[in-house]
A = this chain, B = another copy of it.
Amino acid sequence: MVTTFEVEEMLVPHAHATATMRAAVFHGVDDIRVEEVPKPHAGPGQAVIRVTMTTICGTDLHIARGEYPVKPGLIIGHEPVGVIEELGIGVTGYAVGERVIVGAITPCGQCNACLSGKLSQCGHGSGYEAIGGWRFGNTINGAQAEYLLVPSAQANLAKIPDGVTDEQVVLLTDIASTGIGGAESGGVRIGDAVAVFGQGPIGLCASLGAKLMGASIVIGVDGDDNRILFARKMGVDVVLDDRIVDVVDEIRKLTGGTGVDVAIEALGEQSTFENALRVLRPGGTLSSLGVYSGKLQVPYEAFAAGLGDHRIVTTLCPGGKERMRRLIEMVRRGKLDLRPLITHRFKLADINEAYKLFGSRADGVMKVAITP
C-alpha cells in the first residue's frame, strides 16, 4: 500500500506541452476541481486514449475524503473506456481510432511478478518491487479526464468489438474484474454453495461471478435496502438482510447445516470477515476482497474449526488486456449485462455532483457514468 505521496515522474505530462484538456484534479481533502491541464503525449510503449466514458469507484471516494493519500495535482480515476488517440513507438497491432478499454490495474507483463502470473503485483519492469499494478489515479494521472496516458500499452489496450457500447463495458475495467476475480480465486465449482458478504457493486459482481461459475446457490448478504433490492433484481438466489436475520444461522440452515463451500467478503469490516469464516464448511475457502483498515482479528476458533484446512485468499483486481478480452466476450455474447448497475449519468464538468451523489448513496445510486 502506498502510504506516502508518490508520483512516477516519467509519466507526468511534460511541462512544455502546449495542448490542454479538462480533467478532475485532486487538490486536497474534498477538493477536486475540473480544470485545464496539459494533454499527455505517448512515449515509447505508451498510448494516449480519448476517454469516452468512465466512472467513480469507492476507492476514489476514499481519495476524495483524504482516507487514501495521493499527491495534490493528480488526476484521479481508473476505469477508462475510450478511443486510441496516439500510439508510442513499439506498440504494435493497434490503430488510432480503435475503441478500447483499459483495466484499472495496468501490468507491464515484463517484471518478475507479472511473468509469474501475479499481474496485480506488477513491479513495473525489473522485479518484485511491491509497488503494485494499480497506477491510474494513484501514482500516475487517471481516467477522469478528456485524455489518458496508458503505460505498458501493448499489455493493456483491449479492443471493443463492433456493436458493444461504452455502457456495456465500462464496469469491466474494475468492479466486474475484481468481483468476478473474487469468485475465481475462491475456486467455485459446479454445485457449490457460495455466500457473498456485501452487495455493493463489487460484492454484486462477485455474486454474479459465482453464478457464472456454476454455484448451485449464491447467498448475498447486505444491510442496505437499495443494495438488497439490486441483488434480487440481478438474480442473486437468496439475499439476506443482516439487520434482520442471524446470518450465520440462516446460511447454515440454507446449506443443510454444512456451511458454504466458498465465502466472499466484499465489505472490509471485522464483523463480515468473522461471519464469512463462521459460515464456511470444513475445508472451505474465504475469498477476501474487502479493504480492511487497522488490525483484522481472526477468530481462530472459527478459522480452525475442526482444526483447520481453511484457505483465505485475497484478490486485487487482476488486469491486463487478456482478462479484459475474456470479460468483453461475456458481454458480447450476452452472458453478462451490468448496465442495470449504471443508475445515473453525468458530464465530466459536473463530476463533483457525481461524487456527492455516489458518496451519499442517495436516490438508489449504484454506479455513475461520466462522459466528456
Contact = CB atoms under 8 A, between A and B. Distances in A.
B192 A326 contact: yes
A1 interface: yes
A237 B333 contact: yes
A291 B304 contact: yes
A93 B125 contact: yes
A304 B109 contact: no
Contacts of A152: 110
A259 B307 contact: no
A107 B110 CA distance: 9
Interface stretch (A49-57, A70-78, A292-300, A341-349): A292-300
Contacts of A305: 1, 130
A300 B310 contact: no
A213 B183 CA distance: 12
Interface in A169-222: 180, 184, 189-193, 209, 212-214, 216-217
A314 B304 contact: yes
A150 to B, nearest CB: 12
A111 B93 CA distance: 10
B214 A335 contact: yes
A294 B335 CA distance: 41
Interface string A1-28: 1000000000000000000000000000
Contacts of A322: 112, 115-116
Nearest to A126: B93
Interface in A297-326: 297-301, 303-316, 320-323, 325-326
Interface in A211-269: 212-214, 216-217, 237, 258-259
A332 interface: yes
A214 B214 contact: yes
B118 A109 contact: no
Contacts of A332: 216
A81 interface: no
Nearest to A282: B121
A104 to B, nearest CB: 11
Contacts of A330: 190-191, 214, 216
A120 B308 CA distance: 8
A327 B214 CA distance: 10
Interface string A62-98: 0000000000000000000000000001101110000
A307 B291 CA distance: 8
6 shortest A-B CB distances, which residue pairs? A191-B326, A93-B126, A109-B109, A118-B283, A121-B282, A132-B306
11 contacts: A1-B304, A45-B90, A94-B126, A109-B109, A109-B110, A109-B115, A116-B322, A191-B330, A237-B333, A291-B304, A294-B300
Interface of A: 1, 43-45, 89-90, 92-94, 107-121, 123, 125-128, 130-132, 134, 152, 154-155, 180, 184, 189-193, 209, 212-214, 216-217, 237, 258-259, 281-283, 291-301, 303-316, 320-323, 325-327, 329-330, 332-333, 335
Given A93-B126, A191-B329, A294-B300, 6 more contacts: A112-B321, A120-B307, A128-B259, A131-B306, A191-B325, A311-B313
